[in-house]
Structure 1
Amino acid sequence: MSASRTTSTEPVTYERRGPLAVVTMNRPKYRNAQNSAMTYALDQAFYRAADDNEVKVVVLAGKGEHFSAGHDIGTPERDAHLPFERKSGLWWDHSDKEGAESRFARESEVYLGMCRRWRELPKPLIAQVQGACVAGGLMLAWVCDLIVASEDAFFADPVVRMGIPGVEYFAHPWVMPPRIAKEFLYTGDRMTAQRAYEIGMVNRVVSRDELSQKTVELASRIAEMPRMGLALTKRAVNQAEDLQGLHAGMDSVFGLHHLAHAHNAETAKDSLGGMDVKAMKKGAGA
């Protein structure tokens, strides 16, 4: 059973279950909204799983009713202004900069940079999704190789309400057909787990009561495969996606994303377009 476990007071917990590592976001009070402390804790957990020779497969979960309601834009523990030790790239510290220089540096690190590196974790990564998987939550699910969702799970990217063309890790046209991606973004509506399964974004839909069990069963089955075979297969499929334009497409949209931030900073109350948690919940929130 569990070979190691972190404490329940940390923003992310880590548990070994034989050949599986279960990484769990642990801010259920805030629907697992991702502040920087959580993001860097996730990074540490994935490094830990990569370095552990006994771990064959990693499961990413969220404690409580929801997988993740997205980036933290309004909890008492929001820490976007604080410096953290940078690991994803060579951009300078954002915390003592202003304007686009600050925003671009931070989001290159904690959003696009982190997600890109997690996608390349050389071990299968499975998302176990229940409840809300919104905006930044999508980014975490989409870097995973497989997604198992509960029947009550829903997916949404409502940031067009901010005047922003989708979240920073812009995988939309690769994880769903382009016309579905446009509808998903234009409306900001929730997509049910069943609909996500029908378009190929989700691998399996199960009852909430069976979610953990079914995810572990799938992960355990995959863990029977040779480690090197799994790593090379993952690299092969990821390379195929990149040849289809995923990597370059994200770079181009990241620039549009920051154009939107800059426009909002000039025309609205702030770079988020003046949207608060209550406004973001409208129609799509948890």
Structure 2
Amino acid sequence: MTVPDEGEVVTYEVRDGVAVVTLNRPDYRNAQNSVMTYALDAAFERAVEDDDVKVIVLAGNGKHFSAGHDIGTPGRDHHVHYENKAVMWWDHVDKVGGDQRFAREMEVYLGMCRRWREIPKPTIAMVQGACIAGGLMLAWVCDMIVASEDAFFSDPVVRMGIPGVEYFAHPWMVGPRFAKEMLFTGDRFTSQRAYEVGMVNKVVPRDDLEKETFAIAERISAMPRLGLALTKKAVNQSEDQMGMRNGMDSVFGLHHFAHAHNAEVGADSLGGQNAKSMAAGAKAPEGRTK
């Protein structure tokens, strides 16, 4: 299968000790295919290895941060081989059914997100516009989230009959009750609501998003590098002691049971849904049009 050449799907630059890693598929609302996933991993690795980089900012080019996993663009690439970086498992390309889905999603979704969560340098997600499903996964692996007032969030994959995205951090990111609300309804919620439930650190006007994000990055950069790395590890370990890693493992099994059920009783593993039908089913945040 040939994947269209879209140029640099992730860009990288360093500004005064801050690495800026930018998702760069704006024509597709930065939907994540494997080309982007591995380019993103390479950019993060580059930032980790550069001793002059103190903080990493994850951004999205264009109107939206990320509309989630690629389930319908010309660049979708389920059958393209990439060297495993996150987990030690066989390649998915020549496998079928659940074997293919499990191998691929454990590597490029759950595994990669866990790998990025463990980056020893502070990471900040700079979010505008849509941050949907797989976009949440990218924002959630970051240590902080700064969102613009026009940002909106959702995980609508229950419409597929699937209990949330593969990196199932919902109860730890927004609390159990709001996790159920966002999953049960599939509705979008505003950056202000995300701030109220503790998911977002700061909400700022769209025009001030970059300035405010870099102001935080500059303050963090003044702290000792090792101290930051150890503090990050301490908080992550505490989250895991509260069950996050084990919870994700258990839900990953439910996730794949749902895929298998869909494939057995319907036309495909996504419950017959596609990007258009998923977007059409979303309710806009209060006071905002879709």
TM-score normalised by structure 2 residue count: 0.95
| Aligned partner letter, 1:19 | G
> How far does residue 283 in structure 1 lie from its aligned partner after superposition?
3.8
Q: How many residues align?
A: 279
1:213 alignment partner, SS class: helix
Q: What residue number does 1:172 align with?
A: 170
Output aligned runs, 1:120-269, within 5 Å.
120-269=118-267
Instruction: Find the aligned partners of 1:260 and 1:189 in 2 and give their Cα distance.
Output: 21
1:15 alignment partner, SS class: strand
Kindly indicate whether the alpha-carbon contact (under 8 Å) linking 1:127 and 1:144 is maintained by their aligned counterparts in 2: yes
Kindly indicate whether the alpha-carbon contact (under 8 Å) linking 1:132 and 1:155 is maintained by their aligned counterparts in 2: yes
1:266 alignment partner, SS class: helix
Query: Which of 55, 58, 64 is residue 56 of structure 2 equivalent to?
Result: 58
Instruction: Find the aligned partners of 1:278 and 1:171 in 2 and give their Cα distance.
Output: 25
Kindly indicate whether the alpha-carbon contact (under 8 Å) linking 1:190 and 1:283 is maintained by their aligned counterparts in 2: no
Instruction: Find the aligned partners of 1:267 and 1:63 in 2 and give their Cα distance.
Output: 39
Q: Does 1:40 align with 2:49?
A: no
TM-score normalised by structure 1 residue count: 0.96
What do residues 16-50 of structure 1 show as CA deviations (whole Å, max 9, x unaligned)?
Answer: 00210000000000000000000000000000000
Kindly indicate whether the alpha-carbon contact (under 8 Å) linking 1:151 and 1:207 is maintained by their aligned counterparts in 2: yes
> How far does residue 277 in structure 1 lie from its aligned partner after superposition?
1.1
What do residues 131-160 of structure 1 show as CA deviations (whole Å, max 9, x unaligned)?
Answer: 000000000000000000000100100000
1:60 alignment partner, SS class: strand
1:167 alignment partner, SS class: coil
Unaligned runs of 5+ in 1: 1-7
What do residues 70-128 of structure 1 show as CA deviations (whole Å, max 9, x unaligned)?
Answer: 00000011111211111111111101000000000000000000000100000000000
Unaligned runs of 5+ in 2: 1-5, 284-289
Q: What residue number does 1:3 align with?
A: none
Instruction: Find the aligned partners of 2:17 and 2:276 in 1 and give their Cα distance.
Output: 41
**How many percent identity over aligned positions?**
71
Instruction: Find the aligned partners of 2:84 and 2:135 in 1 and give their Cα distance.
Output: 21
Instruction: Find the aligned partners of 1:255 and 1:9 in 2 and give their Cα distance.
Output: 35
| Aligned partner letter, 1:263 | H
Instruction: Find the aligned partners of 1:80 and 1:67 in 2 and give their Cα distance.
Output: 22
2:40 alignment partner, SS class: helix
1:85 alignment partner, SS class: coil
RMSD between superposed Cα atoms in Å: 1.1
